[in-house]
Amino acid sequence: MEDRRSLSRPVRPAPAQLRVKFRPFAVVLVLCLLGVAAALAAPVAAQAATAMARPAQAAQATQAADGGAAAALHDLFAREWEVRMRENPLYATSVGRHEYDDQLPDVTPETLAREADEAQGFLDELAQIDRDALGTQDRVSYDIFASQLRDGIKSYELGSWQIPINADSGFHIAFSRLPEEVPLQTVKDYESYIARLRAFPQYTAEQIANMRTGLARGMSVPKVTLAGYEKSISTHVVDDPTESVFWKPFEDFPVGVPASERERLRTEGRQAVMEGAVAGYRAFLKFMTEEYIPNARETIGASELPNGKAYYAFQVHRFTTLDVTPKKVHEIGLREVARIQKEMQGVMDQVGFDGTLQEFIHFLRTDPRFYAKTGEELLKDAAWIAKQMDGKLPSLFKTLPRLPYTVAPVPDDIAPKYTSGRYVGAPKGSTKAGTYWVNTYDLPSRPLYALEALTFHEAVPGHHLQIALSEELDGLPPFRRFSYISAFGEGWGLYSEHLGLEAGFYKDPYSNFGRLTYEMWRACRLVVDTGIHAFGWTRQQAMDYMAQRTALSLHEIETETDRYIGWPGQALAYKMGELEILRLRKKAEDALGASFDVRTFHDAVLLQGSIPLPVLDDQIDRYIADTLAEVEARQARQQAEAQEAAATAP
């Protein structure tokens, strides 16, 4: 069978399985977008090795384990990582590996089935390594690795690969970011970029085939969330290549591309844009408008999917990393909603508002003082808030990332159905900074009173700080440095909103109400997500529930509701993660008393990378024990020094 990965030969090029780490779908489509097939199937693809080599590898692992479990474990990690790079070339590019920059992966059912089988082979090999013989850090890596393998296999078995899009994201949206995410400094870089553009029609055809399979068995995105979705596709169907986002790299070449090569690259680029990218988007637009949207399912709950209850239970566990039921999550949400409502009433009393919560929310939604007049004004305000927080970071953190970040608007083609803001990570080894995206579409739906909370979540001390720092942890295996576990990452983002209080922000009571409305929003998610996917709630019921309890704009409530409908379980990560981080912080404060240092606590949380919440619990227990031991040792030294001084005193 010919190698479909090579695009340097005149064979039909392989399509891409977008495992590339486009974090805005953030933090990120690859590891964050676990509810769509491209990302859900991607962890399966990442485990691929050749099935024929499995017995030899297993024997090798057993022999290595006899001589050292750690050596066997790291050998397994290294081999699996190389396979992950080969099977996911776009992901390889995003983490700074450029051997496969001219290649795209394969998402055919045959390939995905093979990869799931091979993932099981890696899991079997892992089981032969004696976990009890490993050190603490290696046990953590062992557990996370096993979890990734199991989740990838389960995701494949449940058919998630048949839904490679959701209400605001998808494989085609991630691909449109390609010009910003690949290296473009040399002739070879441009040739690789052109090869990927040419591969897009085949990649699209394979995704369409998978989606047809899903339609036939009722595995589709709900129809109600797809109104207006075609704009995210039609934007890229142009008649002139210079009007395409994919043409931008050919407008101005870097100095590394000789003048003698530029006209050739432009000619090939023009052809690749039209016959590759545009042709793929045109085919996808036709499929979506004529076939997929008209036949998408009318139901909205994940429980209505094939094997739906098992699918949603899997999503709940995957996005929370906890063994909790939808019912338990729903109850936690109701309690949090009631608690936050009391704090909201306190702010209303503070500003002297004489009316109900709903009347106060209406006032916030309609008073022009709370809204920017231009997109530039909104971006400037966001940048100013972010820069002010930059100055507070040393008081909250001992360890900070080296990578800077910038502020930019959400791209026009996705802004109408996109959330209010996201963090976009920089490709490893690139010359780009991280980016805090702010949505400037429909300014009356982007309240300024929520901008502080949004900025702290997406930029600093939230996603930029956490993700950039994780990638700089050179002592961790690559699969951990570049993993994004939603309960940890989104929990940290929401916790970061709360940190703004400690840093002296939210001085304006309306801004503090914005913080509370964002927290209420995440609490409502626990109620609404489980309501939709486990308890039969309607779309309108979900929107009404949030509209009556948050000061989010009605436009954002609608787009967010569609996001929850199309991305089951992801919305649970935020509040469940934040509650766990807050619980662990209180545990540390109570145990350490005057010895508690928020800066060292934050190091304990962040310097292991993105980890499941039970692993974080163990990590904080070790942090507490180590800190207490240090305090006791210091006190013993001080006592000994005092005794020595007394003994030698004249």
Q: Are residues 211 and 335 in the same domain?
A: no
For 51, what's the count of Cα atoms within 13 Å in the CB-facing half-sphere? 9
Q: Are residues 322 and 292 in the same domain?
A: no
pLDDT value for 431 = 84
Q: Are residues 344 and 283 in the same domain?
A: no
Of 298, 332, 360, which residue sits at a domain end? 298
For residue 301, give both structure tokens: 């709950």
Are the beta carbons of 450 and 371 closer than 8 angstroms?
Answer: no
Q: Are residues 349 and 397 in the same domain?
A: yes
Residues shown for the chain: 650
Q: Are residues 97 and 125 in the same domain?
A: yes
| Confidence check: pLDDT of 539 > 80 | yes
Whether 52 maps to a domain, the answer reads: yes
Cα–Cα separations (whole angstroms), residue 350 to 70, 428, 453, 510, 548: 58, 47, 20, 10, 21
* Cα 495 to the center of its chain, rounded Å: 16
Residue 147: count of CB within 10 angstroms of its CB: 18
Stretch among 69-73, 416-420, 433-437, 478-482 having the lowest mean pLDDT: 416-420
| Confidence check: pLDDT of 60 > 70 | no
368-401 per-position pLDDT tens digit: 999 999 999 999 999 999 999 999 999 999 999 9
H or E element in which residue 264 lies:
helix 259-272
H or E element in which residue 405 lies:
strand 405-409
Residue 274: pLDDT band by 50, 70, 90 thresholds?
very high
Q: Are residues 238 and 282 in the same domain?
A: yes
Whether 637 maps to a domain, the answer reads: no
Are the beta carbons of 147 and 323 closer than 8 angstroms?
Answer: no
Please state the three-class secondary structure of 150-209 as a single string.
HHHHHHHHCCHHHCCECCCCEHHHHHCCHHHHCCCCCHHHHHHHHHHHHHHHHHHHHHHH
Cα–Cα separations (whole angstroms), residue 270 to 197, 275, 587: 10, 9, 60
Residue 170 backbone class (left: φ over 0; alpha: ψ -120 to 50; beta: rest): left
181-237 per-position pLDDT tens digit: 999 999 999 999 999 999 999 999 999 999 999 999 999 999 999 999 999 999 999
Show the CA angle centred on residue 243, arms to residues 277 and 197, nearest 5°: 20
Q: How far apart are CA 641 and CA 628, in angstroms?
A: 20
- The mean pLDDT value for 36-47 works out to 35
Are the beta carbons of 404 and 413 closer than 8 angstroms?
Answer: no
| Confidence check: pLDDT of 156 > 90 | yes
For residue 3, give both structure tokens: 């190698």
Residue type, 543: M
Q: What are phi and psi of 408, to 5 degrees?
A: -150, 160
Closest CA to 449 of 497, 513, 356, 402: 513
Whether 603 maps to a domain, the answer reads: no
159-171 per-position pLDDT tens digit: 999 999 998 889 9
Residue 383 exposed, middle or buried by CB count within 10 Å (0-12, 13-18, 19+): middle
pLDDT value for 504 = 97
Residue type, 635: Q
Its domain, for residue 378, covers 315-574
pLDDT value for 648 = 84
Whether 21 maps to a domain, the answer reads: no
Of 298, 332, 351, which residue sits at a domain end? 298
pLDDT value for 430 = 79
Whether 6 maps to a domain, the answer reads: no
Cα–Cα separations (whole angstroms), residue 560 to 293, 301, 350, 543, 571: 19, 15, 30, 9, 9
Whether 456 maps to a domain, the answer reads: yes
Whether 631 maps to a domain, the answer reads: no
Q: How far apart are CA 49 and CA 28, in angstroms?
A: 25
In the chain, what percentage of residues exceed pLDDT 70?
A: 90
| Confidence check: pLDDT of 34 > 80 | no
CB-based contacts of 239: which residues, under 8 Å, 6+ apart? none
Q: Are residues 503 and 532 in the same domain?
A: yes
pLDDT value for 69 = 96
- The mean pLDDT value for 14-27 works out to 30
Residue 427: pLDDT band by 50, 70, 90 thresholds?
confident
Closest CA to 527 of 302, 337, 314: 337
For 44, what's the count of Cα atoms within 13 Å in the CB-facing half-sphere? 31
Q: Are residues 278 and 321 in the same domain?
A: no
- The mean pLDDT value for 76-101 works out to 92
| Maximum Cα–Cα distance across the chain | 97
For residue 50, give both structure tokens: 């050749």
Q: Are residues 429 and 283 in the same domain?
A: no
Q: Are residues 250 and 136 in the same domain?
A: yes
Whether 429 maps to a domain, the answer reads: yes
pLDDT value for 649 = 79
pLDDT value for 48 = 33
H or E element in which residue 423 lies:
strand 421-424
Show the CA angle centred on residue 507, arms to residues 504 and 510, nearest 5°: 140
Residue with more model confidence, 15 or 450: 450
Cα–Cα separations (whole angstroms), residue 290 to 67, 138, 293, 516: 61, 51, 7, 43
Show the CA angle centred on residue 265, arms to residues 259 and 267, nearest 5°: 120
| Confidence check: pLDDT of 64 > 60 | no
Q: How far apart are CA 447 and CA 46, in angstroms?
A: 40
Please state the three-class secondary structure of 467-516 as a single string.
HHHHHCCCCCCHHHHCCCCHHHHHHHHHHHHHHHHHCCCCCCHHHHHHHH
Are the beta carbons of 92 and 19 closer than 8 angstroms?
Answer: no
For residue 384, give both structure tokens: 């100013």
546-595 per-position pLDDT tens digit: 999 998 889 989 999 999 999 999 999 999 999 999 999 999 999 999 99
Are the beta carbons of 351 and 361 closer than 8 angstroms?
Answer: no
Q: How far apart are CA 591 and CA 583, in angstroms?
A: 12
Cα–Cα separations (whole angstroms), residue 408 to 33, 327, 427: 21, 39, 17
| Confidence check: pLDDT of 491 > 80 | yes
Number of domains the chain is built from: 2
Residue 542: pLDDT band by 50, 70, 90 thresholds?
very high
Of 574, 608, 623, which residue sits at a domain end? 574
Residue 179: count of CB within 10 angstroms of its CB: 17
Residue with more model confidence, 168 or 243: 243
Q: Are residues 548 and 427 in the same domain?
A: yes
Q: Are residues 350 and 254 in the same domain?
A: no
For residue 417, give both structure tokens: 């159905």
For 362, what's the count of Cα atoms within 13 Å in the CB-facing half-sphere? 5
pLDDT value for 39 = 35
For residue 40, give both structure tokens: 């859900």
